[in-house]
Structure 1
Amino acid sequence: MKAGDVVHLTTAASVQFLRPIFVRVIRELPERHTYDGWVWIDCYELNAAGDAVARRELYVMRTGVRLQALPVRPTRPGKRRRNPVRVG
């Protein structure tokens, strides 16, 4: 994982993710000692629109982390330009 990666965390990454979440990785935290195959990550939790809502440090199993594309944001229709209207 590298900075900027968006990952989907489920129970495959850790039992704490009964409700799966998307996060954007800030960095791995190499200074923390972990068990083999596990890693601490500094990240932002993302909402359904892909906006960061909370900064978190998470302990996850590397093999359970799934790289994802950014969640799709709903798009708003652009403003339509109207022609002037003649009155009278």
Structure 2
Amino acid sequence: MPESNEESGRFQAGDVVLLTDAASVQFRKPIVVRVIREIPDRYTYDGWLWLDGYQLNAKGEAVARRELFVMRAGVQRHDGDGAGGTFPPCPNQGPSLGRPPRSGPNGSSSGNPKPATVRR
């Protein structure tokens, strides 16, 4: 009896996966991808693979086609299918973890001083 997709660990067309930093350091900000195919004929390190797929936005719409080099053990199957115009949010997708906005000498966010008050 042939192995199921889950047992073999292979990804097939239509699978929706979540890529986080567990799959590769490039996914510090997680993305969701709909798999086109797993690319078996490229040389990889043991436990790594190439995926061809579409990066999805929050609505489940394809926004970019990508070829991704990922660690197999770090790829998570995503429950969302993108149908009906809704798509579940990705875990860990909250406020940006980047730097806070810069503030200028007067507390302004642009770095420019506040305009002087004109008295008449």
**What TM-score does the superposition give when structure 2 sets the normalisation length?**
0.59
Aligned to 2:12: 2
The structure with the greater share of residues assigned to strand is 1
In the TM superposition, 1:22-37 aligns within 5 A as: 22-37=32-47
Deviating beyond 4 angstroms after TM superposition, the runs of 4 or more aligned structure 1 residues are none
Residues in 1 aligned to 2:67 and 2:37: alpha-carbon distance in whole angstroms: 10
Unaligned runs of 5+ in 2: 1-10, 88-120
Compute the displacement of 1:71 (Å).
5.9
Residue of 49, 59, 64 corresponding to 2:69: 59
Give the number of aligned pairs.
Answer: 74
State the identity %: 64
Compute the displacement of 1:69 (Å).
1.5
Unaligned runs of 5+ in 1: 75-88
**Corresponding position: 1:43 with 2:77:** no
Residues in 2 aligned to 1:68 and 1:48: alpha-carbon distance in whole angstroms: 13
C-alpha RMSD of the superposition: 1.3
Please say if residues 41 and 57 of structure 1, whose CA atoms lie closer than 8 Å, have aligned partners that are also in contact.
Answer: yes
Residues in 2 aligned to 1:44 and 1:65: alpha-carbon distance in whole angstroms: 15
Which has more radius of gyration? Answer: 2
Query: Which is bigger in relative contact order (C-alpha 8 A, separation at least 6)?
Result: 1
**What TM-score does the superposition give when structure 1 sets the normalisation length?**
0.80
